[in-house]
Amino acid sequence: MYRLGIDLGGTNIVAGVVDKHCKIVAKASCKTAVPRPEGEICDSMAEVALKAINKAKITIDDIESIGIGVPGAVNPKTGVIEYSANLFFHNWEVVKMMEERFNKKVAIENDANAAALGEYLAGSAKGAKNAVVITLGTGVGGGIIVDGKIYSGSNFAGAELGHMVIVKDGKECACGRHGCWEAYASATGLISLTKQKILSEKLEYSYMLKLCDGDINKVNGRTAFDGMRDGDTTARAVVEEYISYLACGLVNIINIFQPDVLCIGGGVSNEGDTLLIPLRNIIERERYTKHNDKQTVICKCTLGNDAGIIGAAYLN
């Protein structure tokens, strides 16, 4: 038998068929294309899931469990997405709607929690007793594993680490608050910072703008890192500022939870050591436990974007 995991993101919907060894045997995806009605997104999730099942050369009868990872405040008991800033929904009865489409039991969990579970089962956090997984994507997701179990608080809305404030009265976040870590450390925050620095230059001399063929709308999460590698000083300033914001939040998390492992995932983590080495240097200087023998291991998630699919598949 197999399991099905769905990662419902602010940008893409990805479904994967997962075997008993926590390996994805087939995947399919489509754009989330929000905002749009709940029913349309459910139809897209069902369609993508069936494509993945067909790719795996099995049928829906071969699937023993279905799970969905969703950004925002999710109530696994009621099957309701209570609030998701990046999907623009409140009190969405997603489990009920998806069970009607599959005629099978469906489980939901916060997407970062699902990713943390995936990394704990089969990735960088495997073997750890306590772990935190941070995902840097459209937003900043946080997943916490304590004694091998997902920690989600008394109301299932815990571990929204992206919404701790790191700059008082700072940038407005999608949640409505100002200065949230997510507004600075997400891929969206990095893109915004890159555009801001480009616009502060004389555009005819902007190296990062040249990397985007002169179109600022083509700026992405790699633009500043690519410019830095090519020796552009403005790009280096963007990367250093971005890493300082990211480190600020990570130090807070380490000071609070003291996990065995802190794994970083999401698109920005693909920069690897270019991101991790300066990040570790800052954390080593600023963490409260700098004099302790045992320290949190900071590493890149090994499952990449598959972590959320694997974790979601094993929610039941």
What is residue 192's predicted lDDT score, i.e. its pLDDT? 97
If asked whether residues 26 and 137 sit together in one domain, one would say no
Q: Is 166 helix (H, G, I), strand (E, B) or coil?
A: coil
If asked whether residues 164 and 243 sit together in one domain, one would say yes
| Rounded (5°) CA angle 116-121-122 | 100
The candidate with the shortest Cα–Cα distance to 119, out of 312, 315, 301, 242, is 301
pTM assigned to the model: 0.83
What is residue 225's predicted lDDT score, i.e. its pLDDT? 98
pLDDT, average across residues 244-260: 97
- For the stretch 256-309, pLDDT in tens is 999 999 999 988 999 999 999 999 999 999 999 999 999 999 999 999 889 999
From 26-35, 145-154, 175-184, 256-265, the region with the lowest mean pLDDT: 145-154
If you average pLDDT over every residue of the chain, what do you get?
94
Does residue 100 have a pLDDT over 80?
yes
Whether the CB-CB separation of 182 and 10 falls below 8 Å is answered with no
Does residue 11 have a pLDDT over 90?
no
Residue 86's pLDDT band, with cuts at 50, 70 and 90, is confident
If asked whether residues 87 and 151 sit together in one domain, one would say no
Does residue 72 have a pLDDT over 80?
no
What is residue 51's predicted lDDT score, i.e. its pLDDT? 98
Whether the CB-CB separation of 3 and 67 falls below 8 Å is answered with yes
Split into its structural domains, the chain has a count of 2
If asked whether residues 169 and 287 sit together in one domain, one would say yes
Residue 175's pLDDT band, with cuts at 50, 70 and 90, is confident
- For the stretch 36-45, pLDDT in tens is 999 999 999 9
If asked whether residues 56 and 131 sit together in one domain, one would say no
Does residue 85 have a pLDDT over 80?
no
Residue 165's pLDDT band, with cuts at 50, 70 and 90, is very high
What is residue 228's predicted lDDT score, i.e. its pLDDT? 98
> Domain of 210?
127-300
If asked whether residues 68 and 154 sit together in one domain, one would say no
More confident residue, 151 or 88: 151
If asked whether residues 73 and 104 sit together in one domain, one would say yes
If asked whether residues 139 and 111 sit together in one domain, one would say no
Q: Which long-range contacts (CB under 8 A, 24 or more apart) does 83-86 make?
A: 83/157, 85/139, 85/173, 85/174, 85/175, 85/176, 86/9, 86/10, 86/34, 86/138, 86/139, 86/174
What is residue 45's predicted lDDT score, i.e. its pLDDT? 98
pLDDT, average across residues 191-195: 97
pLDDT, average across residues 241-250: 98
If asked whether residues 242 and 189 sit together in one domain, one would say yes
- For the stretch 116-157, pLDDT in tens is 999 999 999 999 999 999 989 888 988 999 998 899 888 887
